[in-house]
Amino acid sequence: MAKILIIDDDDTMREIMAELLALDNYETVLAADGSLGLESYRQERPDLVITDLIMPNKDGVTVVQELKAEFPQARIMVLSGTQDLSKFSQAVRFDANRILTKPFETDQLLDAVAQLIDEDAHVSPAYQHSHYPTQ
């Protein structure tokens, strides 16, 4: 089972992402800001980091920069609702592996996660594609 670290200062967003990822059998570790996220990465060594871009106590760009400096193999997805494209550019410059803008569809998140950790697209029978028509 792959382990994913979710770093986001929004409690609700962290919990929602953790619940969605659990449906696809991912283990999650949660951190409320960049500083706590870096500590969690060092302790847990997750397969993937999902970090918000704008947050206190180290923003997402700093998280990407510091993680990639210390752990070049770290897989990192940055997400944010910001309209400031320079922040996204900075994250990419420091080798973020994927950018996802908020709001996002559930499938967008789960497919991006699966791609980043080299797994098949999400296929959990517990997950219902409720926003797609069934045939």
Q: What is the CATH number of the domain that holds 31?
A: 3.40.50.2300
What does the mean pLDDT of the chain come to?
85
* Residue linked to tokens 């320079």: 86
Helix, strand, or coil (residue 100): strand
Burial 14-47 (b: 16+ CB within 10 A, else e): beebbebbeebebebbbbbbbbbbbebbeeeebb
Query: Packing angle between helix 60-70 and helix 85-93, nearest 10 degrees?
Result: 0
Whether 77 has a pLDDT exceeding 50, the answer reads yes
| CA-CA-CA-CA torsion sign (110, 17, 57, 29) | negative
Residue 132 included in any domain = no
Mean pLDDT of 1-23: 95
Domain of residue 105, residue span: 3-116
Q: State the total domains in the chain.
A: 1
Domain assignment present for residue 34? The answer is: yes
Q: Is residue 123 in some structural domain? A: no
Cis peptide before 46 (omega within 30 of 0): no
Query: Taking 70 as the threshold, does the pLDDT of residue 127 lie above it?
Result: no
- Percent share of the chain, pLDDT over 70: 85
